[in-house]
Amino acid sequence: MPTGADRGRPTPTDADREPNMSRNAILRLLALALAVSGSGGCAALTNPVADGIPVRRLPEEVFAKPRSELQEVPLNLLRISDPGEYKLDKGDLLAIVADEVLTKDGQPVPVQFNPNPNATKVAVQGVPVPVQDDGTILLPLLDPIDVRGKTLVEVRNLIVDQMVNVKQIVVKGKERVLVDLLQPRRYRVIVVREDAIQDASTFANLGLTAAVIGGSKRGSAYSLLLEPGRNDLLQALTQTGGPPGLDAKNEVVIRRGKYDPSDPAKGYVRIPLRARPNEPLTFTEADITLEDGDTVFIEARDTEVYYTAGLLGAAQVPLPRDYDLRVIEAISQVRGPLINGSFSQNAFVASAVNVGIGNPNPSLVTVVRRLPNNQQVRIRVDLNEAFRDLRENIIIMPGDIIVLQERPGEALARYFTQTFRLNTTWEAIRSPRFLGITTTNNP
């Protein structure tokens, strides 16, 4: 029963209640949309690495040292300095003229031709005499003569001394003794490269032995014969294609031929080809001198890559060898979204802007980095701040995983801009039912 206050008011009809019901339905839909956007289906809210440590709170040990500080090691440091006069050792082949011992006075002296086309002397006079493994030479009628570490002049004086003073074969002043180098000893060195393969005919033209393993970019090996004074790292690199390429590490590993199984680290030398100016070089001339049986190894850079995830997509991308790659540059390398509202711009999209008012820029970057102790740390980078501050735009290291994702606020803003278009919402607001206006159709 209506009270006295309600007696003067008209009774609401179904037509009056209909606009109110429409407004309530729209409000319920908005509440439902908000609940759905905050559910577990949103990647921004379920990001497993969103709780990273901000860049400014991490110690310097976690960050990479700039590669831009590295400078090329001068190539002359990879070469043996002037060895001076040639010193004999085992493996040398001498040509000796010694009358009454190897030759006869008045008879023609034999001439020996050098088989090496690159030798300075094509032919020498004398009888071939090899230097034995113990460093001595053996001549008829004379005692063994130790020539290890001696020059050709010193060897001639030793032969004359035995012929005149010790054995008294000839009279002093009547001796005819000539000593020359017919063929120097050579050191066999193996060079294994993983950066590029070379043509074996190139080495055949140089009179070298080249054994090529495999027929692709990976797996090439060369067997070199290096003479004394040229048995250094620079010579080995020159004869096998030069310094390491961009797809190989900027260093060379030398494994000595005398391998000790009880101490594998013994005889293992790592020669860097780029170094920082304030750091001393870690190798000496003895380290870059190659001996018989040594192996020179140039390793590929297959492990120097970084990975992407999240809005960047899953990919494995190689890192540059000689310059730094920071977070923004790494995202650019995979054509990730940068200050464009996460709008895909590629050759198949003619438009450079998104429809409507656009989406917010995703700005949450997490760099998952593995530490030397097999632990990992999650580094949180503010992408917007990285454009303004170089300290936030950290250097990417090999093995890093870059995850780009939206912040929760950015995800909600994107959801509403995609779901409620401005024109659709405006038409709904302008509708008579939303405004509570009842229209009647007059016949």
Q: Is the same domain home to 267 and 351?
A: no
> Does residue 21 lie within any of the structural domains?
no
Residue 193: per-residue pLDDT: 93
> Does residue 130 lie within any of the structural domains?
yes
Q: Is the same domain home to 226 and 353?
A: no
Percentage helix, strand, coil, to 5, in the chain?
25, 20, 55
Contacts of 273 (CB under 8 A, 6+ apart): 72, 73, 243, 244, 250, 251, 252
What CATH number is associated with residue 169?
A: 3.30.1950
Q: List the structure tokens of 111.
A: 């001439």
227 vs 116: CA distance, rounded Å: 11
| Higher pLDDT among residues 288 and 1, named by residue | 288
**pLDDT tier, 298 (very low <50, low <70, confident <90, very high otherwise):** very high
Q: Is the same domain home to 203 and 293?
A: yes
Q: Is the same domain home to 377 and 349?
A: yes
Contacts of 229 (CB under 8 A, 6+ apart): 80, 83, 86
Residue 233 pLDDT greater than 60, yes or no = yes
Residue 53: per-residue pLDDT: 93
Residue 438: per-residue pLDDT: 55
Cα dihedral: 234, 235, 238, 244 (round 10): -40
Instruction: Name the pairing type of β-strands 127-130 and 93-98.
Output: antiparallel
92 vs 425: CA distance, rounded Å: 95
Per DSSP, the three-state class of 145 is strand
Cα 65 from chain centroid (whole Å): 15
- Final residue in a domain of this structure, among 123, 148, 183: 183
| Mean pLDDT of all residues in 415-420 | 70
Q: Is the same domain home to 221 and 285?
A: yes
Q: List the structure tokens of 117.
A: 């086309």
> Does residue 26 lie within any of the structural domains?
no
Specify the length of the chain in residues.
443
333 vs 338: CA distance, rounded Å: 11
* 145-204 pLDDT, tens digit each: 999 999 999 999 999 999 999 989 998 888 899 999 999 999 999 999 988 654 444 444
Residue 108 pLDDT greater than 70, yes or no = yes
* 170-181 pLDDT, tens digit each: 988 888 999 999
> Does residue 256 lie within any of the structural domains?
yes
Q: Is the same domain home to 346 and 411?
A: yes
> Does residue 310 lie within any of the structural domains?
no
Q: Is the same domain home to 76 and 190?
A: yes
Q: Is the same domain home to 294 and 216?
A: yes
What percentage of the chain reaches a pLDDT higher than 90? 44
- Final residue in a domain of this structure, among 183, 207, 233: 183
Q: Is the same domain home to 215 and 75?
A: yes
Residue 39 pLDDT greater than 70, yes or no = no
Q: Is the same domain home to 113 and 255?
A: no
Domains in the chain: how many in total? 3
> Does residue 433 lie within any of the structural domains?
no
Residue 416 pLDDT greater than 90, yes or no = no
Q: 104 — phi, psi (to 5°)?
A: -115, 140
Instruction: For residue 243, give the amino acid letter.
Output: P
Highest mean pLDDT among 208-212, 339-343, 429-433: 339-343
Residue 112: per-residue pLDDT: 87
Residues 197, 214: contact at Cβ < 8 Å? yes
Which H helix or E strand runs over 113? strand 111-113
> Does residue 46 lie within any of the structural domains?
no
Q: Is the same domain home to 190 and 125?
A: no
Domain containing 289 equals 71-80+186-298
- Nearest in space to 334 (alpha carbons), one of 320, 316, 357, 361: 316
- Final residue in a domain of this structure, among 155, 183, 211: 183
Residues 71, 275: contact at Cβ < 8 Å? yes
Residue 429: CA count within 13 A, CB half-sphere: 7
Mean pLDDT of the chain: 81
| Mean pLDDT of all residues in 118-142 | 89
> Does residue 33 lie within any of the structural domains?
no
371 vs 390: CA distance, rounded Å: 22
